[in-house]
Amino acid sequence: MRYDEDFGSSDFCSCKGPEIISDIRNGYRKSLQAEYYKATMELQEVGSLEKVYFVLANPKASGVNVYINRVLSMNFSQVPLGAIRYIGSKIGGNIEISEWIRSTNTYQDKKESMINVYFGKNLFLKELRAESRVSVPPFKTDVSEFNGEILLAPGNCYVTEVAALVLNEDFTTAVSAEWWEEPDI
């Protein structure tokens, strides 16, 4: 096979020059703009027959749309766990605010995230629809890549519910998420 130095032709290619295709994900671009965030809940020790919840809530007055990039469900126990993810607008019960929300860009002035992150046990879910289900084997992590395909408009929340798949077994878990925010136009 021969390839001309002027990139004009070859025995297998009729292109006029090298074609470069680049796929720069929004998460990368938003990180450069200090608009890409990560959050996690504290490690949760959960009793048998209990469920634990991780909630990303986009307040009605936030002024942003939230694009979920990745959700991680971690299992630190010997029993398999099931995680159900919901999208909707109403939750109830005793929840705690997560203080573990961070911008991923450490070089620029940090912009505060406009959304709230909560976690708690045995919440009441109202007006939510199941979005996906995953199982997490013992001592493993499920990484669900959404690449911004899940959009939380103002007034909506994304909930991950975690429970043991084996009855009468305690478990330890944590959930984290990554997202970016764009103005709600």
Render pLDDT for 32-56 as a digit per residue (tens, 0 to 9).
455 788 888 889 999 888 999 999 9
Q: Which domain holds residue 86?
A: 26-183
Higher-pLDDT residue of 74, 148: 74
- What value does the mean pLDDT of the chain take? 81
Q: What is the mean pLDDT of residues 88-112?
A: 75
Instruction: Give the HSE-up count for residue 11: Cα atoms under 13 Å, Cβ half-sphere.
Output: 2
The tokens for 58 are 């986009």
In a domain, 3, yes or no: no
Share of the chain above pLDDT 70, in %: 77
Higher-pLDDT residue of 13, 166: 166
In a domain, 128, yes or no: yes
Q: Which of 10-24, 94-108, 112-126, 152-166 has the lowest mean pLDDT?
A: 10-24
H/E segment holding residue 133 = strand 124-136
Please state, in angstroms and as integers, the Cα–Cα distance from residue 168 to each residue in 75, 104, 123, 133, 140, following that order.
16, 39, 19, 21, 20
In a domain, 1, yes or no: no
In a domain, 14, yes or no: no
Render pLDDT for 15-33 as a digit per residue (tens, 0 to 9).
555 554 444 456 555 554 5
Burial grade of 76 (CB within 10 A; 0-12, 13-18, 19 or more): middle
The whole-number pLDDT of residue 177 equals 94
What pLDDT band is residue 8 in, cutting at 50, 70 and 90?
A: very low
In a domain, 6, yes or no: no
Number of domains present in the structure of the chain: 1
Render pLDDT for 59-94 as a digit per residue (tens, 0 to 9).
999 999 999 999 999 999 999 999 999 998 888 888
Edge-first strand listing for the sheet containing 116-121 = 96-97, 116-121, 52-58, 156-164, 81-92, 124-136
Give the CATH number for residue 137. 2.60.120
Higher-pLDDT residue of 19, 174: 174
